[in-house]
Structure formats: structure tokens, C-alpha cells
Amino acid sequence: MDNSDNKIDVDIEFTDATLSHYDCDFEKVNEVLSRGGLFDMVGTWAVTSEVYLYTDLGLLQGRVSFYSDRTVGIFDCSCDNMDPQMNSEVPLFSQFVQQQGWNKPTVADSLARMDKYFWKYFYTTGIVNGNYLEKNTIRHI
């Protein structure tokens, strides 16, 4: 991923072969998975993958699902730096998936409840979405 605005080297890896092969590009992934075939997922599909985002500043590791309606769901996530104001990995991941044609990532309610302060920061700054966060946070953007 070229992130020339911030000058941070970013490398993203996916354990799912389709996401990895097509660099998580929604149009390409959708074209392949909407054909059906082996998994008979014509039209509607979902893919879950482990995601590893490496930067010079740290690592984000998570379990993320990608859906045919462009939804990206974060179900598990750990970062080297859990101070949201110092964490660059979550914003970089959100930026990357949106550049690749997906919607802004949505944090699962269970994950948001586990670390309210961390995810509330990213919700209020417009980096992620989340049902639990929406119901329990006043947005300041």
C-alpha cells in the first residue's frame, strides 16, 4: 500500500487466498466470488480472513469478514499500540479497505464492548463504524 501522505511503509497480508491474490480489491474479489462455481455463492458471499498489517510503527492483527455488499466487519483485533491516539494501524487499515472499494469497517459489538475507550476513539474520529458504538457514543465530528 502506498501511503505517500503519511510516509509510512505499510504491508498488508490476508490468509484468504482470494483477498490476497487480488490485493483486497472489491471489484476483482466480487467478480470472482459472484461467479459461483465451487462454493455456489452466486451474488451473495462472505469471506473471513486473518489480516496482518505491518508498519514501521507496529502490527495490527485481526479477524475480519468481507461481504458482497461491501461491508467489512472487524471481529477480533490486536495492535502493538493500544493507545488509540498513538495507533496508526487502525486508521491505515480503514483507509486501505476504503481505497480498495469497501465501506468503512464496522467493529463487532462484542469487540467494541471489550475495549470501549479504544474503539470509541476511532468511532468518534470517523475511522470505523459500529452499532454498539453508535448507540453508546456521542459523535464529535
- Contact by Cβ (8 Å): 95, 102: no
Read off the C-alpha cell for 118. 479504544
C-alpha cell at 33: 466470488
What's the rounded Cα separation, in Å, for the pair 127 and 17? 26
pLDDT digits (tens, 9 = 90+) for 112-138: 999 999 999 999 999 999 999 999 876
Between 75 and 33, the higher pLDDT residue: 75
pLDDT at position 136, please? Answer: 86
Assigned domain for 37 exists: yes
Paired strand residues for 13: 52
Mean pLDDT of all residues in 79-94: 94
> Is residue 30 assigned to a domain?
yes
Q: Give the residue numbers spanning the domain of 58.
A: 10-109
Over 70: is that where the pLDDT of 38 sits? no
**Distance (Å, rounded) from C-alpha 73 to C-alpha 65?**
5
Inside any domain, residue 70: yes
- Report the number of distinct structural domains present in the chain: 1
The answer to whether residue 3 scores a pLDDT higher than 90 is no
Give the span between the Cα atoms of 125 and 127, in whole angstroms. Answer: 6
106-107 and 72-79 strand pairing: parallel
Is 131 inside any structural domain? no
pLDDT of residue 141: 43
Is residue 44 assigned to a domain? Answer: yes
Residue 85 counted as domain residue = yes
Give the pLDDT of residue 35.
77
Indicate whether 127 belongs to any domain. no
Q: Report pTM.
A: 0.87
- Decide if pLDDT at 30 tops 60: yes
Write the pLDDT tens digit of every residue in 43-74.
689 999 999 999 988 999 999 999 999 999 99
Do 63 and 108 meet the contact criterion of CB atoms below 8 Å apart?
Answer: no
Within a domain: residue 45? yes
| Eight-state DSSP code of residue 56 | S
Share of the chain above pLDDT 90, in %: 74
pLDDT of residue 44: 85
Q: CB-based contacts of 24: which residues, under 8 Å, 6+ apart?
A: 12, 14, 66, 96, 97, 100, 102
Unique residue bearing C-alpha cell 465501506: 103
Q: Which pLDDT belongs to residue 57?
A: 86
